[in-house]
Amino acid sequence: MEVLIYLVPMALLLGLSGLAAFMWSLKSGQYDDVQGAAVRVLFDDDMRK
C-alpha cells in the first residue's frame, strides 16, 4: 500500500488546484454577470481591442 504515499497527496493537490481555480475565477469577477456570460459566448466579436 506504499503507493498511497504518492497517490493521496496527488489527489489532494488536484483538489487544491481546482479550489484555487475557483477562487481565481471568483476574484476576477466571472460570476458577476452569469446570464450575460451565457449569451456573450455566442458573439463573434467579443474580443474588442
Partner 1 sequence: MAETLDLTIYVKRQDDGTAHLDLAIEGIDCAACIDEIEGGLCKLPGVVDARLNYTNHRLAVEWRDGQMSPAAVVEELRRLGYRAHPFKSRLVEEEEDRRAKWLLKCLAVAGFASMNIMLLAVSVWSGNVTDITPETRDFFHWLAALIALPAVAYAGQPFFQSAMGALRNRRTNMDVPIVIGILLALSMSVVETINSAEHTYFDSVVMLLFFLLCGRYLDQAMRRKTRAVASNLASFRTEVAHRIEENGEIALMPTAALNSGDRVLVRPGERISVDGIVISGSSDIDESLVTGETAHRAVMVDSQVYAGSMNYNGTLTLTVRAAGKGTLLDEVERLLENAATAKSRYVQLADRVAKIYAPVVHTAAAITAVTWIVTGASVHDALLTAIAVLIITCPCALALAVPVVQVVASGALFRAGVFLNAGDVFERLARVDTVVFDKTGTLTLPTMSVVNAVDLHPDLLKAASRLALSSHHPLATAVAQMASDCRPYDDATEEPGCGVRAVVDGREMRLGSPAFCDAQVLADQAVASDPFASVIAFSWGEEQIVLLVRQALRPDAAAIVQQLRQRGLDCRILSGDRPEAVAPIAAALGIALWRGGCKPADKIAMLEDLKAEGRKVLMVGDGLNDAPALASAHVSLSPISAADLTQAQADAVFLGDRLRPVLSTIEIACRAHRLMRQNLGIALIYNLIAVPLAFLGFVTPLVAALAMSGSSSLVTLNALRARGRASKPIPEAPPSHPVPAAQGA
The secondary structure of residue 47, as a DSSP letter, is: -
Tell me the C-alpha distance between 13 and 6, whole Å: 11
Query: Minimum Å distance from CB 32 to partner 1?
Result: 7
Q: How far is CA 3 from CA 6, 10, 12, 17, in A?
A: 6, 11, 14, 21
Identify the residue among 10, 23, 24, 30 touching partner 1 (CB under 8 A): 23
Interface with partner 1, residue 39, by CB under 8 A:
yes
Binding site for partner 1 (CB under 8 A): 1, 4, 8, 11-12, 15-16, 18-19, 22-23, 26, 31-36, 39-40, 42-43, 48
